Structure 1
Amino acid sequence: MTDISRIDTPETVTKEDVIRYLEDNPEFFRRFPELLLQLKVNHEERGAVSLVEAQMSRLRSRVNDLEEEITQLMGIAAGNEQLFRAFSLAHQRLFAVESSSEIRHALDELAESLKLTVSLRLYSDSDAADLDKSRVDTIRAARFSGQRHYLGRLRRSEGDVFVKDAPELGSYAIVPVSQAKDFGFLTFASHDGGHFQPSMDTLFVEQLAEHLAVILSRWQGEA
């Protein structure tokens, strides 16, 4: 503990001494409460203010920061709930589908609710726009970085491989639809180039792609 009585003259007192003394004697201002109002500190907007006023200002600033954080978290939670409901409804629709047109209708409903473009393109399906495997392989080699899925921007010439009327420099979430074999890709596209980013979670999209793969596998087995 700092012994203030051993400091001989004011010239020997350093700011570190003062800091240590106040840290070691937290009751100091309780014993001398008048100092809280007498001592002044510089304030960027209000000039010199008392320690109490400075502390209150910091607390108000911290409260404002916390309120902003809470608002952001509530917004994220609301967004996650919207995504959950939209994808849950899509899964419900898919449980009852009996044709590729019904799959497209379920995906169109999902696209409308999310305000995104949603596309399912397969390697071989007379009812859907076929994928060009050579072009897909070229894009995977250039963009996927060894990952199964891709999130990020694409040029329109690349996006056209996966969606109709692909946005120029839009962002994409591209997930393979596969089960024992590769059927194709489920793609979500946005005109906002920053909408899909590599750090985003792909759970909902991958679950939907897996559900589609189960349906296509079942149909293939029944053919």
Structure 2
Amino acid sequence: MKNVGEQTVNAPLLDDEAVSNWLLQNPDFFIRHARQVEQMRIPHPVRGTVSLVEWQLARQRNHISQLEEEITLLMEHSVANQQLFEQLLALQGRLASADSLEDMLSRLHRWARELGLAGANVRLFSDRWRLNAPSSFTQLALSRHAFEPVRIQRLGKHQHYLGSLNGPELLLLLPQAKQIGSVAMSLMGEQGDLGVLMFSSRDSQHYHTGMGTDLLDHLATMLPALFARWIERV
């Protein structure tokens, strides 16, 4: 016959998992012991202890607060997406109605100026577009070989770069531009192999890492089809 000490040693140990499983299997425990539940105190980092009911209410309030923040964020994103769509639709209409490539580039530049920027510029990779003489668009040509160091240094494996450029880089990409503080630079085409779209600002802090690039994504994909109206692809 086992003595009391042996029975105690062989009794199953209670741990968090065992208690949790038992409560899940016996949900009426809190109903049968409502008074004890009201008397239970939960450690609190500020108030010392709180009742189990207060603790549960606080959890519910926090959950509701998180849901409200998520809903607010979704609404803000919805508004931002609507504004982005309207901007793109208006710009696409303006560019598509251009009478010539020069007119389209001028409209793109004016649109950028309306946003308070220094301007907008496009350079096309010379191995993907027919830009050699007698073409009148030779000023748009950009050697991919000459651009490669800029791509490695500024873009890496990304489609966009937001920040400043040094003197040689500006001379290569924007030879006519003056007092450029920062740029938003995007590779055009789904593969990023058709050219470079650049928006420039005289403010060195205007474009910086961490800014959203949704608008750049859409423009960099949309513009090559418009250029193809006047320039033949290779």
Fold-level match, TM-score > 0.5? Answer: yes
Q: Please give the alpha-carbon distance, in whole angstroms, between the structure 1 residues aligned to 2:42 and 2:211.
A: 47
Pairing 1:1-223 to 2, within 5 Å after superposition: 14-16=14-16, 17-111=18-112, 118-122=120-124, 130=140, 132-133=142-143, 134-145=145-156, 149-153=159-163, 155-157=165-167, 158=169, 161-163=172-174, 164=177, 165-168=179-182, 172-176=184-188, 182=194, 184-188=195-199, 191-196=206-211, 203-217=217-231
Letter in 2 for 1:167: G
What is the RMSD of the two structures over their aligned residues, measured on CA atoms?
Answer: 3.8
Unaligned runs of 5+ in 1: 1-6
Equivalent residues of 1:120, 1:186 under 8 A apart: yes
Letter in 1 for 2:150: I
- The structure-2 alpha-carbon separation of the partners of 1:159 and 1:13, relative to structure 1 and needing over 3 Å to count, comes to farther
Letter in 2 for 1:94: L
Aligned length: 205
Letter in 1 for 2:208: G
Pairwise CA distance, 1:111: 2.6
Percent identical across equivalent pairs?
A: 24
Letter in 1 for 2:123: R
Equivalent residues of 1:156, 1:166 under 8 A apart: no
Greater RCO, CA 8 A, separation 6+: 2
- The structure-2 alpha-carbon separation of the partners of 1:192 and 1:20, relative to structure 1 and needing over 3 Å to count, comes to same
Pairwise CA distance, 1:94: 1.5
List, as ranges, runs of 4+ consecutive aligned residues in structure 1 with deviation greater than 4 Å. Answer: 112-117, 122-132, 141-147, 195-198, 200-203
Q: TM-score, normalised by structure 2?
A: 0.67
The equivalent residue for 1:4 is none
Pairwise CA distance, 1:54: 0.2
